[in-house]
Structure 1
Amino acid sequence: MKPLRVADRTRSFKYAVRDVLAVADEAKKAGKSMLYLNIGDPNVFDFALPEGIIESVTRALRDGHTSYAPSEGVPAALEAIRAESEGFGFQGIRDVFVGNGASEAIEIVLTALCNRGEGVLLPYPGYPLYTAIAGKLGIDAQPYYLDEANGWRPNADDIRAHIQPNTRALVLINPNNPTGSVYDRACLQELIEIALEHELVILSDEIYAKLTLDGREHLSIASLSDRAPIITFNGLSKAFLAPGLRVGWAIVSGPELVLAPLVDACHKLLRARLCASHPMQYAIAPALADTRHLPEVIAKLERRRDLTVSRLDAIDGISCVAPEAAFYAFPSLHIEGPDERFVAEMVRETGVVVVHGSGFGERPDSSHFRVVYLPTEPVLSEAFDRLEAFMRRHL
């Protein structure tokens, strides 16, 4: 029997955040001591799952919540998500549903919204999940470029320049992964006007909304308008330190008649995949009601962000815009040639695992890498010592 022929859609399929581990494994086998600064998983470091979440999931298991759940989510979870969203000022909420992580909710919406060959505007740099899903579904990924000189914020003129006749949606990641930028009211209002002008659906990924730093305010775009169709994604993975529980959701808001066909299509897909994990959904309401862990989390992140930016900015050949949220920095590399090759060599030679900037999308004439500043200060300091020595040798 011949080797199996696989689907064409997998040939260009990449996910840089985990793909870099193949290079890291080479370095580890060669005897390098490894420091992993590539994946935004708080539980790998000194961040503990809140006790309330542990107790609520344990109780759900003991209470027998192990049958199939309603496809859209258990009522207590949906009510808690809706109530919190209304408290944040979301206008015209039409639907809420729970997914196995925000990632599944995102894929369901894109599957329901776009035919093969239709386009979605994606921020570059941005979380590579979106390009992966686009590739899998045959959606045209249409990049628009965040402005590094303006704190990695969207540029309205650049977005307008990239809109095509087949464009269906505008994706925002706010706060942004990988840059940590946060968008202000004026920026969001301008994006709403673009969406209305071109009849686009806004897909707003707000998984880091509770992790803004330095007292910075996060505004949900759905709180600013009920005229535009907006789908907001969130979940427990980041602010609630529970990525492995795979609990996320989507909130559909805006004009009811415009959104009704999309809501119906999403529910068809939700029914076809049965349900999100039943017992895990019982963590949602208690988590949203208790955020006492967040001040300590944010204080740690602010200290580690400050250390990261100061150390990276002091290295010749690297400059870094200070993140305003989340736990990533996206420093610029002043090098010749592709950053993927340069960063792969950095990983092999130093044992410090970071992700090349081109894996998140970037302007063709630029080079970057993403670093996660979740590790403790001593680990970060050791990592930056190694990177500094590497840059001295290679510049």
Structure 2
Amino acid sequence: MQARQSAWWRGRGVAWRRISSSRYHGGTLERVHSRSYGTVAPSQSAARTVNPIRRLIERTNVAPNPELDVIPLSIGDPTHFGNFHAPSTLPAKMTELLQAEKSNGYGHSSGLLSARESVARRFSGQSKFPLAPDDVIMASGCSHALDLAMQVLADPEKHNILLPRPGFSLYETLASSRGIATKYYRLDPDRQWEIDLTDLESKIDENTAAILINSPSNPCGSVFSREHLNDIVRIAEKHKKPIIADEIYANMAFDPARNVLLNEVSERVPFLATGGLAKQYMIPGWRVGWCLVHDRGGAFDKVRGALQDLSTLLLGPSTLQQAAVPHLLDETPPQYYADVMAQLKGNADVIINILGSEEEELGIRVIKPQGAMYVLLQVDVDVAALHPDRPVDDVEWCKDLLASESVFALPGQVFGADGFIRIVTSPPKAKLEEACARIKRFCRKRRESRMN
């Protein structure tokens, strides 16, 4: 190998060195710390921004079993394995829109009118309170829509937002980044992850800006009934608090009769609903979402205008992709939705049948999902029963599972569900069956080692 030769570049307080060798064409660049500017401190907002899922994945320094292919049950991207697809007519529609060259310019800051009209039609549902295009703010994915909803209702260092536990970890990330306090209400695993209404009501105070609910749920896979939604609305109305409804999994219940939107229930409580194309249409990378203003009695007159002002900061998602929204929402055949949900339900049944049939022997508990694409499993149930004062370390459980069986699941701690793990139901059936067989083998070995 040739001797290394170095060349140096400096600029903007960073030094670079090119390292040449026979192994590299043209060499590589190394960043070399320069202290000409000292250390530049990040903003408080940046310092407060922590995504527990991404941080956990980045810091999981565990090698999988080299004799087994890795099966990732941690990824909430339904396109990852290639078994779910967008509607078959979408590629031709996108080609048509691209060739027409009418969607290349800036759109309205709140979104293209055609997209907002389509979203308003779809999510008015059977409600007595239909949406208008001005009630729709297009966003760069549902995450952006949630950020808008929190920003418009809560002031930093003043208000709090009530969040579900277990719940999607991004809620806390968004609120913390904005300096908004959070309080958690309990979901009850013994009641299919329904909200503990007594606990919810006890967490409301004068500084509560909103109650955030999520159904169908990530990570629980639960779906609230119409009756339970009514109970939630009654509490919100009693305390005069608005609701933020994360409906990214809207209409993704296994039982179509449970596909109930909050707009069909809430007659007096104003709420903001967030959603998008990511999950139901299997295009999460498009980053097309929306925030819907469900006003009641003019309570959100100022909020609507404020949301429109906030939308000017990013100008929403790509206009080309927005132009496809009417095609997806208005022209996708019912069979497409039925096929997607049949596959997700079939996969959930695989988990229930393989792992749920031997819960006592395996030391796990499967909380039967009702929709979306996730299942929470309670792990080391026998240990928890023998030592109720010693929480099960689900992080170590997941690391051991990866090292032993090359199955990557997410520990419940990242969702506020200590002693649980979350697995996705989106892999192909055969891969999911293999993963469940490995989990079963892992649980048996784990129990045998404790007994010896």
Same fold (TM over 0.5): yes
User: Which piece of structure 1 moves more, 67-76 or 212-221?
Assistant: 212-221
1:40, distance to aligned residue in structure 2 (A): 1.8
Instruction: Write the mapping of 1:28-67 to structure 2, written as runs, cut at 5 A.
Output: 33-45=69-81, 46-64=83-101, 65-67=103-105
1:22, distance to aligned residue in structure 2 (A): 2.6
Q: State the Cα deviation string for residues 308-355 of structure 1 (Å, max 9, x = none).
A: 122222251210111110110011112453222322332233221111
Q: Distance in 1 between matches of 2:63 and 2:44?
A: 31
1:317 counterpart letter in structure 2: G
Q: State the Cα deviation string for residues 143-202 of structure 1 (Å, max 9, x = none).
A: 101111001111211100111221110111011111111111221111111111212111
Counterpart in the other structure of 2:343: 300
Select 1:147's aligned residue among 174, 188, 201. 188
1:15, distance to aligned residue in structure 2 (A): 2.7
Counterpart in the other structure of 1:162: 203
Select 1:76's aligned residue among 93, 103, 114. 114
Counterpart in the other structure of 1:196: 237
Q: Contact (CA 8 Å) 2:74, 2:408: kept in 1 or not?
A: yes
Select 1:330's aligned residue among 363, 376, 388. 376
What is the total number of aligned residue pairs between the two structures?
392
Select 1:367's aligned residue among 404, 415, 419. 419
Call closer, same or farther: CA 1:8–1:345 in 2, change over 3 Å.
farther
Instruction: Write the mapping of 1:247-258 to structure 2, written as runs, cut at 5 A.
Output: 247-258=288-299
User: Which piece of structure 1 moves more, 307-316 or 295-304?
Assistant: 307-316
Instruction: Write the mapping of 1:153-302 to structure 2, written as runs, cut at 5 A.
Output: 153-289=194-330, 290-291=332-333, 292-302=335-345
Whether 1:378 aligns to 2:425 is no
Call closer, same or farther: CA 1:213–1:253 in 2, change over 3 Å.
same
Q: Secondary structure at the match of 2:145?
A: helix
Q: Contact (CA 8 Å) 1:17, 1:38: kept in 2 or not?
A: no
Q: Secondary structure at the match of 2:300?
A: helix
TM-score, structure 2 as length reference: 0.82
1:142, distance to aligned residue in structure 2 (A): 0.8
Q: Distance in 1 between matches of 2:395 and 2:64?
A: 19
1:100 counterpart letter in structure 2: S
Counterpart in the other structure of 2:406: 351
TM-score, structure 1 as length reference: 0.93
Counterpart in the other structure of 2:124: 86
Unaligned runs of 5+ in 2: 1-34, 384-390, 448-452
Call closer, same or farther: CA 1:338–1:9 in 2, change over 3 Å.
farther
Pick 1 or 2: higher relative contact order, CA cutoff 8 A, min separation 6. Answer: 1
Call closer, same or farther: CA 1:375–1:331 in 2, change over 3 Å.
same
Q: Contact (CA 8 Å) 2:221, 2:375: kept in 1 or not?
A: yes
Counterpart in the other structure of 1:104: 144
Q: Contact (CA 8 Å) 2:126, 2:264: kept in 1 or not?
A: yes
Q: Secondary structure at the match of 1:358?
A: helix
Call closer, same or farther: CA 1:152–1:330 in 2, change over 3 Å.
same
Q: Contact (CA 8 Å) 2:366, 2:378: kept in 1 or not?
A: yes
Q: Distance in 1 between matches of 2:39 and 2:69?
A: 37
Greater radius of gyration (CA): 2
Unaligned runs of 5+ in 1: none
User: Which piece of structure 1 moves more, 4-13 or 375-384?
Assistant: 4-13
Q: Contact (CA 8 Å) 2:111, 2:138: kept in 1 or not?
A: yes
Q: Secondary structure at the match of 2:79?
A: helix
1:337 counterpart letter in structure 2: V
Q: Distance in 1 between matches of 2:446 and 2:50?
A: 27
1:346 counterpart letter in structure 2: L
Q: Contact (CA 8 Å) 1:16, 1:356: kept in 2 or not?
A: no
Call closer, same or farther: CA 1:32–1:9 in 2, change over 3 Å.
farther
Select 1:342's aligned residue among 388, 394, 397. 397
1:11, distance to aligned residue in structure 2 (A): 4.7
Q: Contact (CA 8 Å) 2:226, 2:258: kept in 1 or not?
A: no
Q: State the Cα deviation string for residues 216-260 of structure 1 (Å, max 9, x = none).
A: 421111112331111111211111111111111111112253101
Q: Give the aligned CA root-mean-square deviation in angstroms.
A: 2.1
